[in-house]
Amino acid sequence: MQNYNILVVDDDKAITDAIEVYLTNEGYNIFKAYDGLQALDVLQSENIHLILMDIMMPNMDGMRATIKIREEKQLPIIMLSAKSEDTDKILGLNFGADDYVTKPFNPLELIARVNSQLRRYAMFSPLKEDTNVISIGGIELNKESKEVFVDGTNVKFTPLEFKILTLLMDNPNRVFSIEEIYERIWNEPAYSNVDTVSVHIRRIREKIEINPKEPRYLKVVWGIGYKFENH
């Protein structure tokens, strides 16, 4: 049986704890977040297969988080909300959700919907055992073990360096602005903190590039930002 990872996102900790009990008993691995920004952070570091997403949350609500997630990922998203009006259900589905459960919900119904969505996901997008490993050129990054190998050598990275490198390698050849990198990794507005990103990029280059001044992988796109080039 596939060992699925489920992310439960709700600002009510009693609800996330209850769902964790229900789904852990079904054999699922549970990760928890309490707003949309925390959910995005978990998705950067963990291999999540399904999301249970509340709508009304502080900082970033479930609708905006779903839109953001859909820019990159197609994993199943089940909306959770105390609202039962059809318009809210339609809105959630239009924003990219796959299903909708109204709170308070029957635990057996929730489990059935989770099982159904995961069966469908496995059928149309078979999960591979190596989904935690990104390999580009001589760089291999393992999301689960938090290890990076450069030409076969295990190189140590700080947690922030690892998260930046994961973001860039997960999206090869895509250019990220310095502001976007900061906001994704630190989960707060960039303001005047963009120099922090440049410092971390320089340290990453020193660890993965033969010649950091003439990088092969982590390249600057002048006036825009950085990208990890897939040769």
Per-residue pLDDT, 89? 63
Distance CA 39, CA 164 (A): 17
Of all residues in the chain, the percent with pLDDT exceeding 90 is: 62
DSSP 169-206: HHSTT--EEHHHHHHHHHSS--TT-HHHHHHHHHHHHH
Q: What angle do CA 77, 178, 180 make, to 5 degrees?
A: 20
Per-residue pLDDT, 193? 67
Axis-axis angle for helices 159-170, 178-186 (nearest 10) = 120
Question: Mind listing the domains of the chain with CATH numbers?
Answer: 5-124 (3.40.50.2300), 133-228 (1.10.10.10)
Average pLDDT estimate for 18-28: 94
Residue 4: C-alpha distances to residues 10, 36, 48, 59, 193 (Å): 19, 21, 8, 28, 37
Per-residue pLDDT, 187? 85
In tens, the pLDDT along 60-106 reads 999 999 999 998 888 999 999 876 655 666 666 777 889 988 888 89
In tens, the pLDDT along 128-165 reads 445 688 889 889 999 988 999 998 899 999 999 999 99
Indicate whether 191 pLDDT > 80.
no
In tens, the pLDDT along 114-131 reads 999 988 877 765 444 456
> How high does pLDDT run on average in the chain?
88
Distance CA 42, CA 109 (A): 26
Contact between residue 177 and residue 225 where contact means Cβ atoms under 8 Å apart: yes
Contact between residue 209 and residue 217 where contact means Cβ atoms under 8 Å apart: yes
